[in-house]
């Protein structure tokens, strides 16, 4: 499993923003496009209990839903990923 998994969709502005931050910080992540797979949609819902995206899942089971850039950045620092 990747250290970071992003459940999102290409049409989602918050998803694109979070993915851009991860790329800018050179953090490897796995993208699971909920538009392409009902299985990914269900995984994201089972993790967060909500239908909002992005859901960003970390290897330790912690997750964020629709995080701001500062919130996501702080979680990456805490985990030593940046």
Query: Residues 14-24: pLDDT tens digits?
Result: 999 999 999 99
pLDDT in tens, 24-35: 999 999 999 999
Q: How much of the chain exceeds pLDDT 70, in percent? A: 99
4-78 belongs to which CATH class? alpha beta
pLDDT in tens, 52-74: 999 999 999 999 999 999 999 99
Where in the chain are the domains? Answer: 4-78
pLDDT value, residue 50: 94
Token pair for 49: 């209990």
Per-residue pLDDT for 1 more than 70? no
User: How many angstroms separate the Cα of 61 from the Cα of each of 4, 24, 56, 64?
Assistant: 10, 23, 10, 10
CA distance 49 to 29: 22
């Amino acid at each position: 499993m990747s250290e970071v998994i992003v459940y999102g969709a290409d049409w989602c502005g918050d998803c694109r923003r979070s993915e851009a931050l991860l790329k800018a910080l050179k953090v490897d992540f796995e993208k699971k496009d909920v538009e392409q797979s009902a299985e990914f949609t269900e995984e994201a819902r089972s993790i967060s209990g909500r239908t909002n995206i992005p859901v960003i899942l970390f290897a330790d089971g912690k997750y964020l839903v629709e995080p701001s850039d500062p919130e996501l950045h702080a979680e990456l620092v805490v985990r030593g990923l940046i």
